[in-house]
Amino acid sequence: MTDHLAITLTVNGACHDIRVAPGRRLSSVLREDLGLTGTKVGCDAGDCGACTVLLDGEPVCACLTPVAHAAGRRVTTVEGVGGEIGERLQAAFLRHGAAQCGICTPGMLMAAAALLRHTPFPDRACVEDALGGVLCRCTGYASIIEAVLDAAGSGAPPAPEPGGAVGVPLPRLDGVPKVTGAEAFGADEWPPGALALRVVRSPHFAARFTLGDVAGWAPGGVRVFTAADIPGENRFGTIPAYADQPALAEGRVRMRGEAVAVVAGPPDVVDALDLDRFPVTWQPEEPVLGLDRALAGDAMQLHEGRDGNILITGRVRRGDVEAGFAAAAVRAEVAVETPFVEHAYVEPEAGAAWMEGDVLVIRACTQAPVMDRDDTARLLGLPPGRVRVIPAATGGGFGSKLDLSVQPYLGLVALLTGRACRMVYSRRESMAATTKRHPSRLRARAAADADGRLLAMAFEGDFDTGAYASWGPTVAVRVPVHASGPYRVPNYHATARAVHSNGPVSGAFRGFGVPQAAIVQEILFDDLALAAGIDRLEFRRINALGDGDRTVCGQQLFGVGIRDCLDALARPWAEALAEARAVNDSRARIRRGVGVASCWYGCGNTALPNPATIRLGVTAEGRIVLHQGAVDIGQGSNTVIAQICADALGVALSDLELVGADTARTPDCGKTSGSRQTFVTGNAALRAGRALRARILALTNMGEDAVIEPEPGALRVRDGRAERRIDLAAMAPDEHGYVLAAEESYDPPTGALDENGQGAPYAVYGYGAQMAEVEVDTGLGTVRVRRITAAHDVGRAINPALAKGQIEGGIAQGLGMALMEEFIPGRTENLHDYLVPTVGDMPRIRSILIEKPDPEGPFGAKGLGEHVLIPTAPAILNAIRHACGARITRLPARPDRVLAAIREAGR
Amino acid sequence: MGEHFRPETLNEALDILARQPMTPAAGCTDLFPATEAQTLPGPVLDLTGIAELRGITSTAQGWRIGATTTWADILHAELPPGFDMLRDAAHEVGSVQIQNAGTVGGNLCNASPAADGVPPLLALEAQVEIASATGRRLVPLGAFITGVRRTVLAPGELVVAVHVPRAAGAGHSRFLKLGSRRYLVISIVSVAVRVVARYGRESHDAREGRAESVALVVGACSPVPVRLREAEAALVGLPLADLAGALDAGAVRAALSPISDMRADAAYRLDAAVMLLRRALAELAGEDGQ
């Protein structure tokens, strides 16, 4: 282009003479022209800081920096952060588990490096100021702060002995590329010459539309694809029986952001297109927004066969609720409203696709590669075997990357043009078009006897599931099963409805509706405890489920650790209450409060099959290869599954070579969802490890306690008495190239639920309880969470460091949900109007790992990923009430709502 | 996509601007978020190559803050306590990354109701120096911003500096920002307060001083941050310790016209503005702001 300028860019000490548009974002030049994809782009608006680079040593957002401003100055990116400070930081990040998904890590490292350059020994407040401009959605920032404060430190746990990996707080095995910038996320790799894609989306919540002269509109080299081009069935959905979402709309849109066309062409041309001028004529319709409208008798029905806009109703009924209420000494009732919540992972949806022979290859961020493959194949009219999905490193998912996003568009264009293509959602697009946490309107009442024993609970929840089904059915089924909390409730009736509207699609978000239900239940239990005059923690201990107790589904449980969790909080609780009392006696304006809440959560699919398969092979050269198809979106399955497998096989963890998820190379481990990977895929890994071990021991006739060691071309097997070798080179390889192999599956033993929701929906549950200590400014209604003490029963901590990271990250999301997060379609489609916690909003977190083994879990392990955010919001809300009397029933607890509630409470 | 001019002198810039309308750009922390494109929509007049537009100088009349002075420059500048509120505001602008790029002039020209820089500069009686190819003029900041995202800048004009009169640098000051999170947050309400105290002979104990002059400004509660002249006047002459209690809440509310949005409702903003002003006054009087 004529307006390009020759400039010299000095990046990481190297000079680059380039011709660029001077007003182009530095982030774009670094990534596209110089190939330095370590600099991540999360928002293109300075809201997330992922693109932080140093300009003459000072941090700036590369996305806000015209490349002209960098001319003649020193640019430092994560690829060049090295040197003494950089290397120490990278090592500290690994040591402290400061990188989970890793997408924010380059930005964090750069911001931290700038700090340490002029303040070598910063205090915590300095670290927070320096990192305040970089958002992290995974870690809760605790480990990042620790890493920066300990950049001068050293040490790591020693490498475990063969058979001793489980239980060791090892740094994640896939951590190094995350701290060097080498990790390749969805937007970071593309074949040369790949076409760029953009999607034309509806600005209306509900409309009919007709397309105009689409071909005439497209400039040279640009092609447009519409629903008419889709070769297969234009319908997808995570649950096949409810699949209802078109990849490209057919004359009607049911939500804002719904896709109507895909545009493909050279990147610079496509970037410059004004999609607002795309030839489409809209006939907007009165949208059905919010539960009131969706449930009104005269509301437009969104989907045929879903009368009254009800997608599904879930129910659990046990005992006689009214009899329970009649016998009660204390009763309570509450209604709560929660909004849409956005996942706000720092990585927007992104990927690339190309053809390899007649196989369509899609490389994109995801939580569910096999589901992506099958759904995309159906849309494109291909057999699943002609689609290969390679998960890119995934920069956070939290449930939303279970659903298709870029995959159908990439697949369509690659298939129809034969050309490679790539696509990155803009932040606005990501927020407008992908799934959300269900808004909910929840009502519940509960009753207890004079001693505080629960007698009955009734719960009704309506969940706004938006325009398409997605995971709405899962929420409606999961919530009634869990709404009792981990407590004995002899008489119980819960219903949950998923209701369609023209809002964004509500899908999966860490907890599938259970976090919303827990808010109601835990507020209610505070009410009952107060009414009965019983300490709030004690009330929960009285009612906690124990071994052999039956749940509201009538399922008898063993290995139940909730009481242990609550017991672990007893002392911190007493101390916090005493501290709050002392502070509140002496100060008027800032009041302290303490709150507690519990969680339980069934791991895996609800009363449905849910298998995982692990392959383990030994090559003729003596390499032991673990094919692990569980996608690690930061939660740590790459490390945890390997730890389990190494111990089951009886080799050193470092002897395992890992093959990550790829539908062409790894058997199906199912989706990363439902806190199931440690439990389900972990069990498959345990079985595969044991099966291969049994085979090796049988071949060598060695005893159970033998140690297996690979060496070139052989396996050495020895115990205290003997040593034998298996000569691998002499053995014939199988179809996968392995001379010894094992492939094992595990499917949790669950049972269908009857019409009253009675049955065994999950084989394993995890438990937890958290205590929040808050400060409420009674003049402004602002809330600061000072500390959270979190006790979680993980059954067996396969990797205590990663478990702690999950807890801290879950708490951050729970805190956001409690205090600041509210997605309003059309108004908060960016990360400055939609607020997630920054480093300065986080409390001190004390994690307590309880290990009450589960009879079904691998080494006794239970799931943890979703559990951790469930108790946070209710614990904070209960603490706010304890501090100042404000009983918050509409989330988030914005300052104006808290102040109004304080006044209502009459203090 | 468009042309991108990056002149090295102000005269050159003004000449370019006289020939055709274009978007002045400096830190680009507001311009880039307004587009999803990878290149700034042009034509753009990039002011960051002009050395004379950046930096803070002390003059006979007071202080001159160049238009492209960054918030980080403000943080590192030697300025008297009357500017503390401006330094506090600089610290509250977005994040370190934004403070390193965003400029004072850009903050004024962007004319957001919630601009962090505007309340302290209003309380510093700032004058905006505007230049064009044909001349220069000084406009009081209160008159420079005329509405949401609107200023008096005419075609061909640029903001070149902000001037703070010597007298306005006197006293002590506070900036308080209320948002729903700690960093990277748009204000629900912000206040800037500057108090010049008069003391009896031999005493500099804040508790014995009286207010000689008071400047009160509230941001994010009206289309343009407003200075509360009536409420200020009522405080002049009062003992410092009495200022917070004596603040006329009715006068504060009457001067404001907040909206309800996703950050807070309007009624709350009025309450919070009064509360923050009282706290800032109390802090300046050496109280703890109860």
pLDDT for B87-131, tens place per residue?
A: 999 999 999 999 999 999 999 999 999 999 999 999 999 999 999
In this prediction, residue A27 carries a pLDDT of 98
Token pair for A596: 């507690």
In this structure, the answer to whether residues A32 and A122 fall within a common structural domain is: yes
The SS3 call for residue A850 is strand
How close B284 comes to chain A (CA, Å)? 18
A194 confidence band (pLDDT: 50, 70, 90): very high
C-beta separation of A612 from A487 below 8 A: no
pLDDT, one tens digit per residue, over A576-593 is 999 999 999 987 799 999
C-beta separation of A376 from A386 below 8 A: no
Closest residue to A22, CB basis, from B6, B38, B72: B6
Residue that is written with structure tokens 């908060």 in the block? A828
Closest residue to A61, CB basis, from B25, B97, B180: B97
> In sequence order, what are the residues at sequence separation of 6 or more whose Cβ sits closer than 8 angstroms to the Cβ of residue B125?
B140, B141, B164, B165, B167, B168, B215
Q: Do A827 and B262 touch (CB under 8 A)?
A: yes
In this prediction, residue B30 carries a pLDDT of 97
Q: Is residue A874 part of a domain?
A: yes
pLDDT, one tens digit per residue, over B53-69 is 999 999 999 999 999 99
Q: Which of A398, A302, A328, A390 is nearest to A354 (CA)?
A: A390
Domains and their CATH numbers in chain B: 4-32+54-166 (3.30.465.10), 172-284 (3.30.390.50)
pLDDT, one tens digit per residue, over A74-115 is 999 999 999 999 999 999 999 999 999 999 999 999 999 999
> In sequence order, what are the residues at sequence separation of 6 or more whose Cβ sits closer than 8 angstroms to the Cβ of residue A769?
A540, A562, A565, A566, A568, A569, A596, A597, A598, A599, A790, A791, A871
- In this structure, are strands A491-500 and A454-466 parallel, antiparallel, or unpaired? parallel
Domain limits at A653?
A: 612-746
Q: Which of A453, A319, A348, A325 is nearest to A757 (CA)?
A: A319
pLDDT, one tens digit per residue, over A24-49 is 999 999 999 999 999 999 999 999 99
Closest residue to A838, CB basis, from B36, B181, B271: B181
A507 confidence band (pLDDT: 50, 70, 90): very high
In this structure, the answer to whether residues A520 and A592 fall within a common structural domain is: yes
In this structure, the answer to whether residues A115 and A89 fall within a common structural domain is: yes
The DSSP result for A775-798, as a single string, is: EEETTTTEEEEEEEEEEEE-SS-S
pLDDT, one tens digit per residue, over A610-636 is 999 999 999 999 999 999 999 999 999
In this prediction, residue B203 carries a pLDDT of 62
In this structure, the answer to whether residues A365 and A282 fall within a common structural domain is: yes
In this prediction, residue A2 carries a pLDDT of 46
In this structure, the answer to whether residues A100 and A37 fall within a common structural domain is: yes
Mean of pLDDT values over A6-20: 96
A721 confidence band (pLDDT: 50, 70, 90): confident
Torsion angles phi and psi, residue A696, rounded to 5: -65, -40
The SS3 call for residue A576 is helix
Q: Do B182 and A128 touch (CB under 8 A)?
A: yes
Q: Do B36 and A130 touch (CB under 8 A)?
A: no
Closest residue to A24, CB basis, from B36, B38, B268: B38
In this prediction, residue A1 carries a pLDDT of 36
Q: How far is CA A703 from CA A350, A716, A859, in A?
A: 50, 14, 21
Closest residue to A894, CB basis, from B37, B44, B180: B180
In this prediction, residue A154 carries a pLDDT of 85
Q: Do A272 and B37 touch (CB under 8 A)?
A: yes
Residue A83 Rama label (left phi>0; alpha psi -120 to 50; beta): left
Mean of pLDDT values over A375-386: 98
Token pair for A30: 């670094």
What percentage of chain A carries pLDDT values higher than 90? Answer: 97
C-beta separation of A280 from A207 below 8 A: no
Q: Which of B92, B148, B126 is nearest to B102 (CA)?
A: B92
Burial class for A127, CB neighbours closer than 10 Å (0-12, 13-18, 19+): buried
Kindly give the residue spans of alpha helices, DSSP state H, lying in A701-820.
Answer: 800-819
Determine how many CB atoms are found less than 10 A away from the CB of residue A39: 28
Instruction: Note the ipTM here.
Output: 0.97
In this structure, the answer to whether residues A275 and A359 fall within a common structural domain is: yes
Compare all CA atoms of chain A with the CA of B23 and give the residue at the minimum distance.
Answer: A23
B33 and chain A in contact, CB less than 8 A = yes
Closest residue to A65, CB basis, from B28, B72, B275: B28
Mean of pLDDT values over A367-378: 98
Paired with A638 in beta bridges are none
CA dist., res. A794 & res. A499, Å (int): 34
pLDDT, one tens digit per residue, over A521-554 is 999 999 999 999 999 999 999 999 999 999 999 9
Q: Do A895 and B40 touch (CB under 8 A)?
A: no
Q: Is residue A208 part of a domain?
A: yes
**Is 50 exceeded by the pLDDT of residue B288?**
no
Domain of residue A733, CATH code: 3.30.365.10
In this structure, the answer to whether residues A764 and A821 fall within a common structural domain is: yes
For chain B, what percentages of helix, strand and coil (3-state, to nearest 5) are there?
Answer: 35, 25, 40
Q: Do A59 and B100 touch (CB under 8 A)?
A: yes
Token pair for A367: 């939580």
- Sort out which chain B residues have CB atoms less than 8 A from A5's CB and list them: 4
CA dist., res. A471 & res. A47, Å (int): 29
Mean of pLDDT values over A463-482: 98
CA dist., res. A504 & res. B162, Å (int): 46
Overall domain count for chain A: 4
How close B114 comes to chain A (CA, Å)? 13
In this prediction, residue A666 carries a pLDDT of 97
Per DSSP, A505 falls in state P
Q: Is residue A355 part of a domain?
A: yes
pLDDT, one tens digit per residue, over A228-264 is 999 999 999 999 999 999 999 999 999 999 999 999 9
In this prediction, residue B204 carries a pLDDT of 63
Size of interface A-B (CB pairs under 8 A): 168
Within 121-180 of B, beta carbons closer than 8 Å to A belong to 178, 180
In this prediction, residue A906 carries a pLDDT of 85
CA dist., res. A200 & res. B46, Å (int): 32
Q: Which of A545, A543, A547, A487 is nearest to A517 (CA)?
A: A487
pLDDT, one tens digit per residue, over B164-218 is 999 999 999 999 999 999 999 999 999 999 999 998 766 666 567 999 999 999 9
In this structure, the answer to whether residues A790 and A716 fall within a common structural domain is: no
Mean of pLDDT values over B274-282: 98
Q: Do A835 and B44 touch (CB under 8 A)?
A: no
Q: Is residue A579 part of a domain?
A: yes
CA dist., res. B95 & res. B114, Å (int): 16
CA dist., res. B205 & res. A116, Å (int): 39
B272 and chain A in contact, CB less than 8 A = yes
Q: Do B98 and A63 touch (CB under 8 A)?
A: no
Compare all CA atoms of chain B with the CA of A29 and give the residue at the minimum distance.
Answer: B38
The SS3 call for residue B244 is helix
In this prediction, residue A207 carries a pLDDT of 98
> In sequence order, what are the residues at sequence separation of 6 or more whose Cβ sits closer than 8 angstroms to the Cβ of residue A10?
A16, A72, A73, A74, A75
Q: Is residue A879 part of a domain?
A: yes
Compare all CA atoms of chain B with the CA of A897 and give the residue at the minimum distance.
Answer: B264
C-beta separation of A839 from A131 below 8 A: yes
Compare all CA atoms of chain A with the CA of B31 and give the residue at the minimum distance.
Answer: A64
Paired with A678 in beta bridges are none
Compare all CA atoms of chain B with the CA of A50 and give the residue at the minimum distance.
Answer: B97
Q: Which of A857, A867, A749 is nearest to A795 (CA)?
A: A857
Closest residue to A45, CB basis, from B32, B271, B289: B32
Closest residue to B271, CB basis, from A68, A114, A899: A899
A157 confidence band (pLDDT: 50, 70, 90): confident
CA dist., res. A638 & res. A640, Å (int): 6
How close B159 comes to chain A (CA, Å)? 20
In this prediction, residue A588 carries a pLDDT of 79
pLDDT, one tens digit per residue, over A683-699 is 999 999 999 999 999 99
The SS3 call for residue A744 is strand
In this structure, the answer to whether residues A278 and A370 fall within a common structural domain is: yes
CA dist., res. B218 & res. B229, Å (int): 11
Mean of pLDDT values over A498-505: 98
Compare all CA atoms of chain B with the CA of A900 and give the residue at the minimum distance.
Answer: B268
Q: Is residue A800 part of a domain?
A: yes
Biggest distance spanned by C-alpha atoms of chain B: 65
- Sort out which chain A residues have CB atoms less than 8 A from B188's CB and list them: 895-896
Q: Is residue A188 part of a domain?
A: no
- Sort out which chain A residues have CB atoms less than 8 A from B94's CB and list them: 46, 133
A612-618 β-sheet, strand order: A656-659, A624-627, A612-618, A740-746
How close B144 comes to chain A (CA, Å)? 26
Q: Is residue A342 part of a domain?
A: no
Q: Do B97 and A59 touch (CB under 8 A)?
A: yes
Task: Return the amino acid letter for B58.
Answer: S
Q: Which of A820, A823, A811, A814 is nearest to A439 (CA)?
A: A823
Kindly give the residue spans of alpha helices, DSSP state H, lying in A97-240.
Answer: 105-118, 124-131, 142-149, 176-180, 214-217
How close B244 comes to chain A (CA, Å)? 14
Rg, chain B, Cα only: 19
Mutate to test the interface with B, among A25, A40, A64, A340 (most CBs of B within 10 A): A64
* Dihedral, CA of residue B268, residue B274, residue B278 and residue B281, to nearest 10: 130
**Is 70 exceeded by the pLDDT of residue A502?**
yes
On average, the pLDDT of chain A sits at 97
Q: Do B29 and A64 touch (CB under 8 A)?
A: yes
**Is 50 exceeded by the pLDDT of residue A750?**
yes
From A396, A424, A452, the end of a domain falls on: A424
In this structure, the answer to whether residues A764 and A811 fall within a common structural domain is: yes
How close B66 comes to chain A (CA, Å)? 18
Within 77-116 of B, beta carbons closer than 8 Å to A belong to 94-98, 100-101
In this structure, the answer to whether residues A147 and A282 fall within a common structural domain is: no
- Sort out which chain B residues have CB atoms less than 8 A from A841's CB and list them: 181-182
B2 and chain A in contact, CB less than 8 A = yes
Per DSSP, A309 falls in state G
- Sort out which chain A residues have CB atoms less than 8 A from B181's CB and list them: 820, 835, 837-838, 840-841
In this structure, the answer to whether residues A43 and A169 fall within a common structural domain is: yes
Compare all CA atoms of chain B with the CA of A777 and give the residue at the minimum distance.
Answer: B290
Mutate to test the interface with B, among A200, A341, A896 (most CBs of B within 10 A): A896
On average, the pLDDT of chain B sits at 95
Q: Which of A153, A49, A413, A443 is nearest to A259 (CA)?
A: A413
From A721, A746, A771, the end of a domain falls on: A746
Instruction: Tell me the whole-structure pTM to 2 decimals.
Output: 0.98
Per DSSP, A858 falls in state G
Compare all CA atoms of chain B with the CA of A60 and give the residue at the minimum distance.
Answer: B97
- Sort out which chain A residues have CB atoms less than 8 A from B182's CB and list them: 128, 132, 838-841
- Sort out which chain A residues have CB atoms less than 8 A from B247's CB and list them: none
Burial class for A176, CB neighbours closer than 10 Å (0-12, 13-18, 19+): middle
Closest residue to B1, CB basis, from A1, A824, A827: A1
From A746, A764, A782, the end of a domain falls on: A746
B199 and chain A in contact, CB less than 8 A = no
Token pair for A729: 């080179």
